[in-house]
Amino acid sequence: MGRLFVVGLGPGAPELLTLEARAALERAEVIVGYHAYVDQVRCWRPGVAIRATPIGAERERAQEAVQLAAMGRTVALVSSGDAGVYGMAGLALEEWERVPAAQRPALTVVPGVTALLAAAALLGAPLGTDFAAISLSDLLVPWPSIVRRLEAAAAADFVLGLYNPASATRHWQLGAAVGILLQHRSPDTPVGVVRAAYRDGQRTAIVALGEVPAQPVDMLTILIVGNSHTRRCHDWLLTPRGYRSRPDEAASWVPG
């Protein structure tokens, strides 16, 4: 019987792959994925069969991976970050379900470090407490649904991770989102802007919410918008979890 691994590659650096993801990629006879991601794998698995597909062809990519596995091959379908977060896991499952039961391959989803966690680590500790992830791409979800989620999350003081803030064809969504957030949060609210986390060209900045629309953003950028407790801590971003300092801790501690 064939086998399909749906694998999250993490943000990009091979060091942020999990060992299980690496093992799945080593076991695979065929690796299916978007050009830029499978190229990462090619360098350490020379000779493996690679099916690279263009961006936008997600459905076809999932079909091809499932089809190959249904024919008995061991296949790794790769996503950046975590395959379950705006990645290929859902499409893979939809295609897997359509295969007649007798031919359905064994299916394993291998989790990974999603962009939100990668960006958060580079910023320090911005998540801290409850958080929400929202994609600003309205290609597959109607914009009013996105607005409803932005409003709800902003009003309930979630830390917010904004995926897909802009692309070659989407320019106005981030400005519109910030407008909504500013109805609930101070323009001074700190926001982490991270581009290409753990990849060439990595860039991190901490700016005020009111300044966000002036930031250059693209498909490789993710933003983390602080809640009402988030603050800068030197070059880091910190959302306290809620631990209260005890009075006896108030005096500054000096290392021995």
Applying the rule CB under 8 A, the residues between 115 and 154 that interact with a copy of itself are: 117-118, 120-122, 124-135, 140-141, 145-146, 148-149, 151-153
255 binds a copy of itself (CB under 8 A): yes
Report the C-alpha gap between 109 and 82 in whole angstroms: 9
Closest-CA residue to 58 (of 30, 93, 87) = 87
Stretch that binds a copy of itself, among 44-52, 188-196, 212-220, 238-246 (CB under 8 A): 238-246
Window 11-50: residues binding a copy of itself (CB under 8 A):
13-20, 22-23
Closest-CA residue to 148 (of 139, 138, 119) = 138
Among 74, 82, 166, 209, binds a copy of itself (CB under 8 A): 82
Query: Which secondary structure element, helix H or strand E, spans residue 254, and what is its range?
Result: none
70 binds a copy of itself (CB under 8 A): yes
Among 9, 83, 180, 193, binds a copy of itself (CB under 8 A): 83
Stretch that binds a copy of itself, among 41-49, 76-84, 172-180, 199-207 (CB under 8 A): 76-84
| Least gap, CB of 64 to a copy of itself (angstroms) | 11
The amino acid present at 35, given as its one-letter code, is H
Kindly tell me the sign of the dihedral angle through the C-alpha atoms of 72, 84, 120, 197.
Answer: positive
173 binds a copy of itself (CB under 8 A): no
| Least gap, CB of 168 to a copy of itself (angstroms) | 20
Phi-psi region of 4 (alpha: psi -120 to 50; beta: other; left: phi over 0): beta
CA distances to 18, 67, 76, 99, 188 from 9, in Å: 8, 22, 11, 26, 35
Measured from the CB atom, is 244 or 247 closer to a copy of itself? Answer: 244
